[in-house]
Structure 1
Amino acid sequence: MFALENLKEDMRMKKWMYDCVLETPATAEAMFKNKEALVGKLVDLFLAKDYKKIVMVASGSSYNIANCSKYAIQTYLGVKVDLINSVTYAKYDYQFHENALVICMSQSGKSTNTIEAVIKAKECGNDVVAISMVPNSPITRYCDTVLEYGSYGPGDDVFVCRGVPTSTLYFILFALEAGVKKGVYPKDSYKKRMKEIETIVHEMPRIREKIDGWYDANKEELWSMKRAMTVGIGPSFGPAIEGALKMEETIGIPSNVYETEEFLHGPVYEIKKDNAVFLLDMDDKMHDRVMMIYEGLHQLTDRVYLITRHPGNSDKRVMTIDVDTCSLLLPMLFVMPFQILSSRVCDDCRINAITVYNYRFSQAIKTKAN
C-alpha cells in the first residue's frame, strides 16, 4: 500500500531522522499484516503460565517505548506492568518480581545495561525474554529466548525514529492477541482496536504532512528555543519522554519531561520567555485539566505548543492529530511531531549536537556491546 516516498529536496542526502519517519508506515503495515506470526511466540510464552505481572526493562528510547505501550498492555491484557531502567533493575530493583515475565528491550541488541539486566533476571530465576530490532545482536548470546520486533530494515534507524512507533505497535499487537486468547479482552473490542490500528497506519502520511505544516508555521520560534519542556501523563507520557530525549540528543538544548500535574509543583517557576513548553492532550480523562494549564501557561511564555486529539483550536502552535481511535493507540502518532521538529530544526539550522567531544566521551564510557 505504501511506497517509500522520495526525500524532499531540502533534506540531507545521507539517511536522517526524516527518512526513518517516511519509512514507518510501510514498516508498520507489514508488521500489522503479519501480526499473528510476529507476536505469536511472545503470546504463547505469556499464556503458558499464569503471570501476574510483566516487567519491562530498558533504557533510552526502549524505555520510552515501554512507556508508550504500558497502558495499552495493562488495559488489553489485564495484567500489571512495571517499567524499570536497565541498570536500576540490574543493581537495585531486581527483587519482588515473583510470577512475572521480565522483558528486556534493546533496539540494537547492544545495550550493555540491558544485557546486564538479562543476566540478573536469569540469576533471580525469572522467566526472561530479550527483544531487539536487529537479528543476531549481542544480546542473543545472553538470553535463551530472544525475539525480534519485525521492524528491521536496510540502513540505520536514525535516533530510533522508525523503531519507537513500530515497537510500540508490536507490544500493542501482543497485548491484543494475548488478551483475546486469554479471554480477558472482548472479541468485539479486539476487532474494533484492529480496525483502529489499520486507520492509524493509513493516516501516518497525512499526519506527517500536517506536522510539516505545523513546523513551517512555527519554525523560526523552534529554531531559537533555548529550553524545552514536554508534559504528558498516562499514555501520553511515553511520547513526552521520547520527545524530550529527541530534542536533547539532536538539537542539543536542555529538555525535560514532566508528568502533567507534577509539572505545576515547581518546574513551572523556571519558565522564561524563550522557553518552549509542549503539552500533550491525548485522552478525555485529563483534557479539561490540560486545557486549563495550556491557557495559564501563556502568562509565562508565548511558546506554548499543544499536541492534541481534540479539534477546534486554530492557534498556529496547536498540532491537532485528528484520528478517532482509542487513546491507548495514539502514542504511535503523538511521537511524530517531536521526531519531525528535531530532524527539521537540525537540517534548517545545520545543527549536529554530537561533537567530537561526545564521541570521545562515548568511547570512554561504553554503553554498547560489540
Structure 2
Amino acid sequence: MVYNEIVNVYINTDTHYSSENLLVTMFALENLKEDKRMKKWMYDCVLETPATAEAMFKNKDALVGKLVDLFLAKDYKKIVMVASGSSYNIANCSKYAIQNYLGVKVDLINSVTYAKYDYKFHENALVICMSQSGKSTNTIEAVVKAKECGNDVVAISMVPDSPITRYCDTVLEYGSYGPGDDVFVCRGVPTSTLYFILFALEAGVKKGAYPKDSYKKRMKEIEMIIHEMPRIREAIDQWYNANKEELWSMKRAMTVGIGPSFGPAIEGALKMEETIGIPSNVYETEEFLHGPVYEIKKDNAVFLLDMDDTMHDRVMMIYEGLHQLTDRVYLITRHPGNSDKRVMTIDVDACSLLLPMLFVMPFQILSSRICDDCRINAITVYNYRFSQAIKTKAN
C-alpha cells in the first residue's frame, strides 16, 4: 500500500485516527519505506503457530503430564484459573473444554480481583495462576495470596526461569516458547489453549470422567485442526482483502460471543484495542441485546461469533437484525453456505470446544494487517510513558 492510498483512507472515510496519529503514520512511512514489514510482527507469530502446536501435540504426555499428575493426586472439586490480559482470555478459551472433558467446575478470576477480594471460598480447589511472560505483577501477587490461603497453587508461563518462578513451588511451562518475541501473544493464545485442552483430555480419561472412544476422537480432531491452520489462515487473508478498506476505517468495534466462543471474542476485542487503537468491547451474545446495541452507528463494526449449534439459530437471527443498524456486520462461523463477503467461514468438522484455537485467528490477522497496511499501532509516546509510570511487569 502506497502513501497516497493511506492518506486517502484518512481523508475520504473520516476515520477514527487523530491528526497526531496521521503525522505519526506519515513519519513511519518515510522511515520505513525501504522496509516492507517489521522484522517480526503479529502475522509472523500466526505463521509459527501450527508448527508450535504440532510439536506440543507430539510431546503431549511429557508436556501436560505433571499437571495431570498434580490434579489426579487429590479429589479436587474445582479449578480456579487466575490471570489477566491475554492469559485471562486463554482461560476463557479453554474453560468449557476443561469442564466438559474433566468434569469439574472452572472459575475464572482476574488476578488483582483474586488477590484483593475473591480469594475466599475456594476449598478443595486447584488454583492455576497464568502469565505468558511470567512477569505480570498482579498474577505474582495472586500466587502469594493463594499460598497464604493454603490453596494448592500452580504457576504456569511460556518463558523458562521467569520472575513468577521465585514465588511458587510448582511452576510449569506451556511448551510454546520459541526464539524471538511472541508479538501480542499471537502464538501464545491458541497454543496455550491447546495446552489446557490436552490437560483436560488426558486427566479426564485417566480419571474416568471422559470416555476413551470420545478421547480418541478429540485427539484426531486436534490433529486435524493443527493441520488445517495454514488453510484457515489463507482463507482469513482472503476475507480480510475483501473487506480491508472498510476495516481500515472502523471507528468502533464490538465482538460478540458466548460459551466457548466468548474466549476468542474477548481476545479479539483486546487485540484491536492494543494494536489498532480503536475502542473495542466484548459482549455475551444475549447481553449484547440488552443495551449495547443502542449505541451502534453506521461506522461501527460488529463481529459475531457463531461457533456451536446451541446458539446458532439465535446468532443468525441477531446477524440478520443488525443490518438495520450497520452494514458492517462480520460473521465468523463454522456453518458454510453464506456467500456475503463479510462472512468468514471456518469450516472444520470438530467438537466446538476445540475451535477457539481457530476462531481467534481472524482477529490476530486483521489486527496485524491493518497495522501493517496503514503503518499504525496503538503504542504512542504517551502510553509508553504511562506504562513506565504504572508498572505491570516484574524484572
TM-score category (smaller protein): over 0.9
Residue 11 of structure 1: CA displacement? 5.7
- Alignment partners' CA distance in 2, 1:298 and 1:141: 52
Residue 319 of structure 1: CA displacement? 0.1
The one of 375, 378, 387 aligned to 1:350: 375
- Alignment partners' CA distance in 2, 1:32 and 1:161: 18
Question: Per the alignment, in what secondary structure is the counterpart of residue 226 of structure 2?
Answer: helix
- Alignment partners' CA distance in 1, 2:28 and 2:40: 17
> Contact conserved, 1:17 with 1:339, CA < 8 A, in 2?
yes
> Contact conserved, 1:241 with 1:257, CA < 8 A, in 2?
yes
- Alignment partners' CA distance in 2, 1:3 and 1:358: 18
Post-superposition, which runs of at least 4 consecutive aligned residues in structure 1 deviate over 4 A? 1-11
Question: Per the alignment, in what secondary structure is the counterpart of residue 63 of structure 1?
Answer: helix
Deviations 1:202-232 (A, max 9, x none): 0000000000000000000000000000000
Question: Per the alignment, in what secondary structure is the counterpart of residue 376 of structure 2?
Answer: coil
Which consecutive unaligned segments of at least 5 residues does structure 1 have? none
Residue 5 of structure 1: CA displacement? 28
Residue 176 of structure 1: CA displacement? 0.1
For normalisation by structure 2, the TM-score amounts to 0.91
- Alignment partners' CA distance in 2, 1:199 and 1:273: 39
* Residues 285 and 248 (structure 1), Cα distance of their counterparts in 2 relative to 1, 3 Å cut: same
Question: Per the alignment, in what secondary structure is the counterpart of residue 347 of structure 2?
Answer: coil
* Residues 68 and 175 (structure 1), Cα distance of their counterparts in 2 relative to 1, 3 Å cut: same
Residue 6 of structure 1: CA displacement? 23
Among all aligned residue pairs of Structure 1 and Structure 2, give the percentage whose two residues are the same amino acid. Answer: 96
The one of 12, 25, 28 aligned to 1:3: 28
Question: Per the alignment, in what secondary structure is the counterpart of residue 324 of structure 1?
Answer: coil
Residue 3 of structure 1: CA displacement? 31
State the structure with more CA Rg. 2
> Contact conserved, 2:82 with 2:114, CA < 8 A, in 1?
yes
Deviations 1:185-215 (A, max 9, x none): 0000000000000000000000000000000
> Contact conserved, 1:2 with 1:26, CA < 8 A, in 2?
no
> Contact conserved, 1:215 with 1:341, CA < 8 A, in 2?
yes
For normalisation by structure 1, the TM-score amounts to 0.97
- Alignment partners' CA distance in 2, 1:368 and 1:171: 24
Residue 14 of structure 1: CA displacement? 1.5
Equivalences, count: 370
- Alignment partners' CA distance in 1, 2:257 and 2:306: 7
Residue 12 of structure 1: CA displacement? 1.1
> Contact conserved, 1:251 with 1:353, CA < 8 A, in 2?
yes
- Alignment partners' CA distance in 2, 1:331 and 1:209: 18
Root-mean-square deviation (CA, aligned residues, Å) is 4.2
Which consecutive unaligned segments of at least 5 residues does structure 2 have? 1-25
* Residues 10 and 297 (structure 1), Cα distance of their counterparts in 2 relative to 1, 3 Å cut: farther
> Contact conserved, 1:232 with 1:259, CA < 8 A, in 2?
yes
> Contact conserved, 1:4 with 1:26, CA < 8 A, in 2?
no
Residue 320 of structure 1: CA displacement? 0.1
- Alignment partners' CA distance in 2, 1:181 and 1:3: 55
* Residues 360 and 297 (structure 1), Cα distance of their counterparts in 2 relative to 1, 3 Å cut: same
Deviations 1:51-100 (A, max 9, x none): 00000000000000000000000000000000000000000000000000
Deviations 1:112-171 (A, max 9, x none): 000000000000000000000000000000000000000000000000000000000000
